[in-house]
Amino acid sequence: MSRIETVASNDARINRINRNIVLIGMPGCGKTSIGIALAKMTEREFADTDEWIIKTAGKSIAAIFAEDGEDVFRMMEQDALQIFCRRRGLVIATGGGVVKRSENLCIIRQNGIIIFLDRDIDLLATSGRPLSEQEGVHALASARLPLYREWSEYTVPVRGVRETAADICGLLFGGLL
């Protein structure tokens, strides 16, 4: 390998290490659980947009939807993304509907590697998930799956929390950090 190739390879590795790893996917696919495991494996800080919204609003997501509406929730989600995506080296779990606002893609891509966690639709939990309960998981999947695929740089099948986190590590870092 020439010196130029070595420098380019090192620059690419440093870039991957510094960029956020942003997890997208259907509600209930495991973004939070896998994100926590991935953060531990990579020694990164974990951030969850839904948790930030709950803490900031002082109420559950279901309550936000019922009392304030989806638009208020989506604005808070965008605020959370703007805060987290300014930072470097995080693992970020997003809400399942993050893809509903195209401007979120620009926010995430400025400093993030987007991973779509692809889980069998029939295995997704709907309890406590306002839109999954209201619209049905298959209707949500029909609208969102094309967007998840379009937004993501990588698609990773969900096959267990630790296994999926390890798959992401292998994909991004060749298993070595």
pLDDT in tens, 146-160: 999 999 999 999 999
CATH assignment at residue 117: 3.40.50.300
Q: What is the DSSP letter of 100?
A: G
Alpha carbon of 87 to those of 28, 83, 106, 152, 170: distances in Å? Answer: 26, 7, 15, 20, 23
Q: How many domains does the chain have?
A: 1
State which residues form the domain around 113.
3-173
Cα distances from 84 to residues 28, 47, 133, 168, in angstroms, run 21, 7, 28, 20
Residues 164, 156: contact at Cβ < 8 Å?
yes
Instruction: Summarize pLDDT for 74-106 with one digit per residue, the tens.
Output: 999 999 999 999 999 999 999 999 999 999 999
Q: Is 173 exposed, middle or buried (0-12, 13-18, 19+ CB in 10 A)?
A: middle
Whole-model pTM? 0.87
Q: Mean pLDDT over residues 49-57, rounded?
A: 97
User: How far is residue 157's CA from residue 167's CA, in Å, rounded to a whole number?
Assistant: 9
Between 175 and 80, the higher pLDDT residue: 80
Q: What is the pLDDT, as a whole number, of residue 11?
A: 52
Chain centre distance of CA 22 = 4
- Is 29 in contact with 21 (CB distance < 8 Å)? no
Residue 47's closest CA among 13, 15, 14, 95? 95
**Angle, alpha carbons 93-96-99 (nearest 5°):** 100
More confident residue, 35 or 6: 35
> What pLDDT score does 7 carry?
43
pLDDT for the residue 139: 84
User: Which tens digit of pLDDT belongs to each residue from 114-134?
Assistant: 999 999 988 876 555 555 555
The percent of residues above 70 in pLDDT, for the chain, comes to 82
| pLDDT number for residue 138 | 82
Where is pLDDT greater, at 108 or 128?
108
* pLDDT band, residue 174 (cuts 50/70/90): confident
